[in-house]
């Protein structure tokens, strides 16, 4: 059972305030239950991706399943899409759309790599249904559902503070600590990579400016040999500026974006761990309710109210069943989270290894070109005659 997913293209639809981008998704499946063909091509808008993620989160996250985050909604990207007139003519719009295409492809591929998520009916419809999907109400930043989620998150924080979990499972204690440490290290790494991207872009601009200055100097130089050397040096720095700009793009695409994705996954892991805390809190709440009901029944028995105690037996049994059910759900969730965490750790190692190898190969290739530029320039220095 396998699925290969790629976001092949994007195009702008609508004009003005009604403009939006749609992305072409190509999917090849093999032996995946529920799929009627082995190849699909569909167009989806960004809000469809957000809607899919929300549906999967609501269905699976409370069970302990890691549902990857979709790319965040960007006000600046939305504004550029609506204000610019046509597909890809504006460079900044094209860069934003290209980056988002890569992020969306990673999001879908991570879903496809999960044996349970790829078989989900909503995922199947998203990848195979040739037509527009129903608009999700919760994709708008200011929708009523979004506001409810915000207040629910605030309530969860208060609940966590008011009713802290007494963790007695050493494995989960270590896993929580590892995720916190990993998150902190990834934040520092991502910040450093962002600074590297910024520095390379600044270096590219500086080399470009130096190239223009050398070119102007060469045009004013009376000594023919020196003028030629300055001209070739200007050409070399122009090539260096192009190479550095390319390296900055590689820093961003092959290093910063994968690390950003890993940061998003640590966020999801924290959410999943907190789902377990909420499950434990529900179990303890029902356990406390059962204890109170048993105490009430005992007081009734001691007070000689046998008839009322007999009637209360049903409530006690119901509370016992509910507490047992909550315990089973908590244990089942804990088991799933262990499996999901092990799968995540294995996948994280493979992802980071692949990203680093790809990045280093591209850097070696780029630095090889830089070396060639200087080698081509070196003979030019021999033509300079210095008067002594």
Task: Give the neighbor-by-neighbor strand order of the sheet with 39-45.
Answer: 2-13, 20-30, 39-45
Per-residue pLDDT tens for 90-109? Answer: 556 688 889 999 999 999 99
1-131 CATH choice from 3.40.50.300, 3.40.470.10, 3.30.1520.10, 2.60.40.10: 3.30.1520.10
145 pLDDT more than 80: no
* pLDDT of the residue at 58: 95
* pLDDT of the residue at 326: 94
* pLDDT of the residue at 142: 47
Q: What is the mean pLDDT of residues 9-34?
A: 88
Per-residue pLDDT tens for 153-171? Answer: 555 555 555 567 777 889 9
pLDDT class of 380 with cuts at 50, 70, 90: confident
* pLDDT of the residue at 201: 97
pLDDT class of 387 with cuts at 50, 70, 90: very low
- Please say whether the structural domain 167-183+245-379 has been given the CATH code 3.40.50.920: no
Per-residue pLDDT tens for 277-330? Answer: 999 999 999 999 888 888 887 887 777 776 776 777 888 888 899 999 999 999
Q: What is the mean pLDDT of residues 44-72?
A: 94
* pLDDT of the residue at 18: 80
Among 77, 100, 87, which residue's Cα sits nearest to residue 14?
Answer: 87
Per-residue pLDDT tens for 322-368? Answer: 999 999 999 999 999 999 999 999 999 999 999 999 999 999 999 99
Q: What's the mean per-residue pLDDT of the chain?
A: 87
Q: What is the mean pLDDT of residues 135-151?
A: 55
pLDDT class of 192 with cuts at 50, 70, 90: very high
Spatial distance between the Cα atoms of 353 and 320, rounded to a whole number of angstroms: 50
* Rounded percentage of the chain residues whose pLDDT exceeds 90: 64
Instruction: Write down the domain spans for the chain.
Output: 1-131, 167-183+245-379
* pLDDT of the residue at 199: 98
CA distance readout (Å), 380 to 93, 102, 105, 224, 243: 41, 43, 47, 12, 21
Q: Which residues pair with 4 in a beta bridge?
A: 28
* pLDDT of the residue at 163: 60
Same fold, 1-131 and 167-183+245-379: no
DSSP for residue 256: I
């Amino acid at each position: 059972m396998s699925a290969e997913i790629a976001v092949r293209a994007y195009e702008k639809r609508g004009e003005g305030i009604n403009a939006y981008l749609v992305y072409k998704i190509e999917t090849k499946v093999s032996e995946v239950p529920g799929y009627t063909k082995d190849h699909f091509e569909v167009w989806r808008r960004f809000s469809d991706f957000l809607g899919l993620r929300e549906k999967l989160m609501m269905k699976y996250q409370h069970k302990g399943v890691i549902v990857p985050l979709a790319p965040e909604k960007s006000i600046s990207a939305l504004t550029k899409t609506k204000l610019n007139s046509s597909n890809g003519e504006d460079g900044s719009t094209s860069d934003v759309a290209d980056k988002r295409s890569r992020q969306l492809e990673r999001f879908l591929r991570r879903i496809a790599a999960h044996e349970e998520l790829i078989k989900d009916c909503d995922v199947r419809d998203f990848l195979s249904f040739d037509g527009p999907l129903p608009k999700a109400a919760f994709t708008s930043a200011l929708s009523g559902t979004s506001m409810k989620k915000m207040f629910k998150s605030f309530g969860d924080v208060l609940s966590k503070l008011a009713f802290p979990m007494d963790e007695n499972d050493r494995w989960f204690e270590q896993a929580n600590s590892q995720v916190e440490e990993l998150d902190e290290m990834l934040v520092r790494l991502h910040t450093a990579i962002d600074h590297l991207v910024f520095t390379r872009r600044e270096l590219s601009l500086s080399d470009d400016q130096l190239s223009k200055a050398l070119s102007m100097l060469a045009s004013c130089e009376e000594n023919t040999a020196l003028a030629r050397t300055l001209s070739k040096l200007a050409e070399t720095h122009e090539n260096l500026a192009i190479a550095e700009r390319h390296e900055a793009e590689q820093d961003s695409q092959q290093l910063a974006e994968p690390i950003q994705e890993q940061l998003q996954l640590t966020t999801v892991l924290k959410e999943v761990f907190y789902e377990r805390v909420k499950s434990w809190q529900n179990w303890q709440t029902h356990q406390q309710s059962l204890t109170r009901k048993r105490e009430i029944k005992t007081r009734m028995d001691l007070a000689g109210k046998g008839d009322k105690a007999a009637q209360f037996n049903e409530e006690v049994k119901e509370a016992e069943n509910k507490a047992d059910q909550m315990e089973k759900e908590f244990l089942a969730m804990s088991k799933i989270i262990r499996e999901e965490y092990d799968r995540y750790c294995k996948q994280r190692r493979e992802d980071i290894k692949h990203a680093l190898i790809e990045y280093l190969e591209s850097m070696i290739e780029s630095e090889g070109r830089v070396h060639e530029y200087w080698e081509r320039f070196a003979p030019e220095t021999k033509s300079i005659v210095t008067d002594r």
